[in-house]
């Protein structure tokens, strides 16, 4: 059985004080939750202080990005060791904003994934199509391509432990959600694709989240789909109350 996994992605929001205030509130609200994995992926400058609040709780931390080299002349970048040193277990790789605004391509993301595995971090690899691709019916081809390129050369043992997040770009921050049926259709396609690339066991083990305007009022229906194992939550993860309601989805 795959354990549900609800992760927040704060993007470029919250100063250190605001971050500490939020997780202080959140840890009380989700204190009794034992059957769901919970993580907050936060801006790098917030993580050290957040870790002081959530260490030894059921809230894990993640980074929103990292570079694939260990150290060196890469001004502005963060290494895997740096994000681990502030308590991160997870790292988001290839969020659509990184792909679209910062020009990250599948080859670079593949290198980041390999580094994350080598450094014992759990990557959350984001994949998903643009509106035009959905409208022209190219969404299956798009996620297939992203999986093949992103996972190239990666072992089944690593894929089993990673997280995939299907996030259609047209649903991110727009208030427009894929219907639970649309999300289930493509997420089951992604699972089948993992089975073809690897094997059935790997496909059954890998957790696949849906992301795109997940809110307290729609999470239950989304989580009721058999292939959807969790959610990657942007806007609704910024407030402790709404994020805790999503964590307690049923
Ligand atoms: C995201 O940024 O990954 C996301 C899904 O955002 P939102 O929930 O705000 O659509």
How far, in Å, is the centroid of ligand 1 from the Cα of 212? 5
List C-alpha distances in Å: 174 to 43, 101, 163, 184.
Answer: 21, 17, 23, 20
Q: Where are the alpha helices (DSSP H) in the chain?
A: 16-29, 44-54, 80-85, 96-101, 106-118, 131-135, 139-150, 156-161, 180-197, 200-205, 219-223, 240-247
Residue 95 falls in the annotated catalytic set:
yes
What pTM, to 2 d.p., does this model score? 0.97
Residues near ligand 1 (Cβ within 6 A): 9, 167, 172-173, 211-214, 232-236
Report the pLDDT value the prediction gives residue 173, as an integer from 0 to 100.
83
Catalytic residue check, 104? no
Q: Which domain CATH number covers 144?
A: 3.20.20.70
Active-site annotation holder among 95, 104, 129, 184: 95
**Ligand 1 nearest atom to the CA of residue 214, by list position:** 8
From residue 65, alpha-carbon distances to 87, 105, 117, 127, 198 in Å are 14, 14, 14, 15, 26
The domain in which residue 79 lies consists of 5-247
Residue 174 CA: nearest ligand 1 atom is 10
Give the H or E element holding residue 104: none
Number of structural domains (the chain) is: 1
- Tens digits of pLDDT across the chain (250 residues): 899 999 999 999 999 999 999 999 999 999 999 999 999 999 999 999 999 999 999 999 999 999 999 999 999 999 999 999 999 999 999 999 999 999 999 999 999 999 999 999 999 999 999 999 999 999 999 999 999 999 999 999 999 999 999 999 999 988 888 899 999 999 999 999 999 999 999 999 999 999 999 999 999 999 999 999 999 999 999 999 999 999 999 8
Catalytic residue among 64, 129, 133, 167: 167
CA of 174 to the centre of ligand 1 (A): 9
């Amino acid at each position: 059985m795959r354990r549900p996994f609800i992760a927040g992605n704060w993007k470029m929001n919250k100063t250190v004080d605001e971050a500490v205030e939020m997780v202080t509130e959140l840890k009380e609200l989700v204190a009794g939750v034992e059957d769901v994995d919970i993580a907050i992926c936060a801006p790098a400058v917030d993580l050290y202080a957040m870790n002081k609040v959530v260490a030894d709780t059921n809230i894990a931390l993640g980074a929103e990005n990292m570079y694939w080299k260990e150290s060196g002349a890469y001004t502005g970048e963060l290494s895997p060791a740096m994000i681990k040193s502030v308590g991160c277990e997870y790292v988001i790789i290839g969020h659509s904003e990184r792909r679209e605004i910062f020009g990250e391509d599948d080859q670079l993301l593949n290198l980041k994934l390999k580094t994350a595995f080598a450094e014992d971090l759990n990557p959350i690899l984001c994949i998903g199509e643009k509106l035009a691709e959905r409208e022209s019916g190219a969404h299956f081809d798009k996620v297939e391509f992203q999986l093949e390129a992103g996972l190239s050369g990666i072992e089944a043992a690593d894929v089993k432990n990673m997280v995939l997040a299907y996030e259609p770009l047209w649903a991110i921050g727009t208030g427009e959600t894929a219907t639970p049926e649309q999300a289930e259709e493509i997420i089951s396609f992604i699972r089948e694709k993992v089975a073809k690339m690897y094997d059935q066991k790997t496909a059954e083990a890998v957790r696949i989240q849906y992301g795109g305007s997940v809110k307290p009022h729609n999470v239950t229906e989304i989580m009721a789909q058999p292939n959807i194992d969790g959610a990657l939550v942007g806007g609704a993860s910024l407030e402790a109350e709404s994020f805790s309601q999503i964590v307690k989805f049923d």
